[in-house]
Amino acid sequence: MAKESLRYPRILVYLSSSPLLREHAADRPWTLYAATAIRLAAGGRQRKQSSSLPVRLDTGAFVSALPEEWLRFLHSFLLLDFDPVSFGTAAARGSGRLARGVRTVFPEDPDKAYAFDWLVTPGLNGRGYGLLAMRDILTYFTIRTVGALQRSPAGIPSTLPVLELIPNRE
């Protein structure tokens, strides 16, 4: 297999459908989203880590968030505030409970944990993924775009960049 040049945690860029854009014969009838996977890590000297969790980068999220339905396998990694937090987004209002400073690891560097704040909310139930807020990413990383979007003759990108997360102060 070819040599790999990526060394750090990464956020992948994916193609997604846009029936609306296709219907309106847009020049680019597709959209993109950025996502990665994380695990939560137990504190202290334990090396125990949670299941792998898909999360999408959401530049509008005021805080990173996880579906409440995942609590059944995450409860031992999250110390939730007793009082709920209410919030509003561009699309809706919601509420959840905050867990602060949760040790969070990326699959490419499972030995290094970063303290993220996670809001656990029923508003994400059924979505299949959590949300990663920019405040958590940029606190610890500088984002470097590696690769570039290239369109194929079919009009759809045949190459997409990867967002590499370079740890700050390295």
Partner 1 sequence: MNEHTQPTRQPRDEETRLDRKIRSLLGKGPLDCRPEEWRGLREQLRLALLYPGRYVAFRDHYTGEGASLRLMHREVLFDSRSLAALNKRLAKLPEEAQQGVQVAFVEPDQAP
76-115 footprint of partner 1 as x/- string (CB under 8 A): -------------------------------xx-x-----
For position 122 contacting partner 1 by CB under 8 A, the verdict is no
- Interface with partner 1: number of residues (CB under 8 A): 45
- Helix (DSSP H) and strand (DSSP E) numbers for the chain: 3, 12
Binding test (CB under 8 A) with partner 1, winner from 26, 43, 48, 51: 51
Give the dihedral sign, CA 89/91/95/99. negative
Which residues 6+ apart lie within 8 Å of 135 measured at CB?
62, 63, 64
Among residues 34, 37, 58, the alpha carbon closest in space to that of 133 is found at 58
Tokens 């504190």 sit on residue: 43
Binding test (CB under 8 A) with partner 1, winner from 61, 70, 103, 104: 70
In angstroms, rounded to a whole number, what is the distance separating the alpha carbons of residues 101 and 114? 8
Binding test (CB under 8 A) with partner 1, winner from 26, 43, 54, 125: 54
For position 155 contacting partner 1 by CB under 8 A, the verdict is yes
When the beta carbons of 97 and 144 are compared against partner 1, the nearer one is 144
In angstroms, rounded to a whole number, what is the distance separating the alpha carbons of residues 139 and 61? 15
In angstroms, rounded to a whole number, what is the distance separating the alpha carbons of residues 166 and 161? 15
For position 131 contacting partner 1 by CB under 8 A, the verdict is no
Binding positions for partner 1, 3-32, rule CB under 8 A: 3-6, 12, 14-19, 29-30
Binding site for partner 1 (CB under 8 A): 1-6, 12, 14-19, 29-30, 35-37, 51-54, 70, 73, 107-108, 110, 127-129, 146-148, 150, 152-162
